[in-house]
Structure formats: structure tokens, C-alpha cells
């Protein structure tokens, strides 16, 4: 009997030692390039009310909390004991805290503008793992569990923002085409100038209004 107890004790110590070799701090990161302005991307990230339209990880986290209503404002989303809190919003970084009772982790978004006008968005979840063997074991699967949800969320955000950017670009082209000159349009004035009696162009402002010198 004593031999069995001693063996179990040794085995437990070996297991604890092996799990102690696992890192205590781990992270899961996904990156996406979005053909949209940094300001547009930032608005979708820094205002938590926007998350319900693209953040599948958030939606999945709240799905099992059916016993309570979701409350949302620009800086906090909560349902029951689970909450997501906006901790800090800087021009290039947004930091959030995801908490379920006493357990929590942080989610950081980093934005950088590219020379071609697109935006690189990096999303990283940071976890501090306690020494408990079951927590250490569970952390081995975070990459496979959370990575696909993060990728899907960023893909949805990319699709929405690029669609919005495309619509805005099309609207700008229409404004430029027709301007405020009726059927002749800004491009017609630019093309024909004073040949058709419109005078010489003085300036064209951002809304495509044209000032003429006669």
C-alpha cells in the first residue's frame, strides 16, 4: 500500500514538473491588410458597439450566456459574468480586457498605415496561465481554438470596410463626373474649358465645385 502511495506521489510530482516547463505567458496573433483608411478601421475597433457586426469571437463568447441580456456601450460589452472592457484607445493601439468572473485575458489591436493607403491590423490575445496542470493543458489548444475565430472575424471586418471604401470611391467618382455644372459636369468643363464658353478654370475644390475665370 505504501509503495502504491509513494508511486502515485512520484508520478504526480513528475506531471507537475513537466507542466511547469510549459510557458506561463502565451499569445495568439492574427494579421490582416485592409484596403481602407486607418481612421475607418480604428472606428470599427475602438467603439465596442461596432463589434457585433464583425467580431465572431465576441459573439461566440456570449452565445452560451442565454440567461442574461447583453448590455453594450462604446467602452463595455457584458452579459452575465462575462464582459469585454475597453482599457485604452491610442491612435495606433486599442487594448481590451476580456473577463469571465476571476479569469481574464487581454486583446490588443495594433494599426499601421501603409504607403498605398491600406491599413495593417494586428490582433493579439495575451494569456497568463496559472501553474495548475489543467490550465496548462488547456492552453496548448488556444491557437487551434481561437485562431480560426480570429481569422474569420478579421476577414469579415476586411470585407465590410473594403465594401464601404468601394462605395465611397464610387460616390466620389460620381460627384467628380457630374459636379455642380449640370449636364456638362466637372470633367466636361476640364476637357473643353473656354472652348464652349465656360471660361478658364480657376480651381476645383474637394467637392468638385468649380470656380471659373472669365
171-188 residue pLDDT tens: 777 666 655 544 444 444
Q: Which run of H or E residues covers position 124?
A: strand 119-128
When pLDDT is averaged across residues 128-152 and rounded to a whole number, the result is 78
Cα gap 191→149, rounded to integer Å? 51
3-state secondary structure of 104: strand
Cα separation of 140 and 133, whole Å?
A: 11
Confidence at residue 124, expressed as pLDDT on a 0 to 100 scale? 97
Q: For residue 205, what are the domain limits?
A: 179-213
Percent of the chain with pLDDT over 70: 63
Residue 146 lies in a domain: yes
- 119 and 202 belong to one structural domain: no
Q: Same structural domain for residues 30 and 116?
A: yes
42 burial via Cβ count (<10 Å: 0-12, 13-18, 19+): buried
Strand partners, 109: 94, 123
pLDDT of residue 79: 84
For the record, the C-alpha cell of 127 comes out as: 494569456
In Å, how far are 36, 133, 138 from 100, measured between CA atoms? Answer: 33, 20, 16
Query: 72 has which bridge partners?
Result: 77
pLDDT-based confidence at residue 197 (cuts at 50, 70, 90): very low
The CATH number of residue 144's host domain is: 3.30.530.20
- Which has more confidence, 185 or 131? 131
Q: Are residues 209 and 140 in the same domain?
A: no
Computed over every residue of the chain, the mean pLDDT equals: 77
Say if pTM beats, i.e. exceeds, 0.75: no
Confidence of residue 6 (pLDDT cuts 50, 70, 90): low
Q: Which residues contact 150 (CB under 8 A, 6 or more apart)?
A: 28, 30, 57, 123, 125
| 8 found inside a domain | no
Burial of 113 (0-12, 13-18, 19+ CB in 10 A): middle
CA distance 13 to 30: 36
Same domain, 165 and 199: no
How much is the pLDDT for 204?
44
Number of domains within the chain = 2
* Spacing of C-alpha 127 from chain mean position: 19
Mean pLDDT check: name the lowest of 3-7, 93-97, 113-117: 3-7
> Per the domain annotation, does 105 fall within a domain?
yes
How far apart are alpha carbons 58 and 86 in whole angstroms?
13
Q: Please tell me the least confidently modeled range out of 136-140, 147-151, 168-172, 179-183.
A: 179-183
| Nearest alpha carbon to residue 74 among 83, 85, 58 | 85
What confidence score (pLDDT) does residue 61 get?
Answer: 80
Question: Is 9 domain-assigned?
Answer: no
| Same domain? 164 vs 189 | no
Q: How far apart are CA 86 and CA 94, in angstroms?
A: 8
User: In terms of domains, do 31 and 53 share one?
Assistant: yes
Amino acid at each position: 500500500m505504501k509503495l502504491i502511495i509513494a508511486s502515485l506521489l512520484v508520478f504526480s510530482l513528475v506531471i507537475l514538473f513537466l507542466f511547469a516547463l510549459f510557458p506561463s505567458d502565451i499569445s495568439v496573433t492574427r494579421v490582416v491588410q485592409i484596403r481602407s483608411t486607418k481612421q475607418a478601421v480604428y472606428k470599427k475597433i475602438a467603439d465596442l458597439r461596432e463589434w457585433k457586426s464583425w467580431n465572431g469571437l465576441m459573439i461566440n463568447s456570449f452565445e452560451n450566456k442565454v440567461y442574461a441580456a447583453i448590455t453594450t456601450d462604446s467602452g463595455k460589452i457584458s452579459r452575465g459574468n462575462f464582459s469585454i472592457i475597453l482599457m485604452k484607445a491610442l491612435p495606433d493601439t486599442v487594448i481590451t480586457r476580456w473577463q469571465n468572473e476571476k479569469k481574464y485575458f487581454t486583446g490588443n489591436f495594433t494599426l499601421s498605415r501603409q504607403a498605398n493607403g491600406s491599413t495593417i491590423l494586428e490582433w493579439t490575445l495575451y494569456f497568463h496561465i496559472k501553474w495548475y496542470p489543467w490550465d496548462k493543458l488547456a492552453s496548448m489548444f488556444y491557437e487551434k481554438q481561437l485562431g480560426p475565430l480570429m481569422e474569420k472575424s478579421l476577414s469579415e471586418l476586411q470585407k465590410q470596410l473594403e465594401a464601404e471604401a468601394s462605395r465611397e470611391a464610387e460616390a466620389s467618382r460620381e460627384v467628380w463626373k457630374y459636379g455642380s455644372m449640370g449636364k456638362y459636369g466637372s470633367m466636361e468643363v476640364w476637357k473643353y474649358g473656354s472652348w464652349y464658353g465656360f471660361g478658364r478654370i480657376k480651381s476645383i475644390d474637394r467637392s468638385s465645385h468649380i470656380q471659373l475665370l472669365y
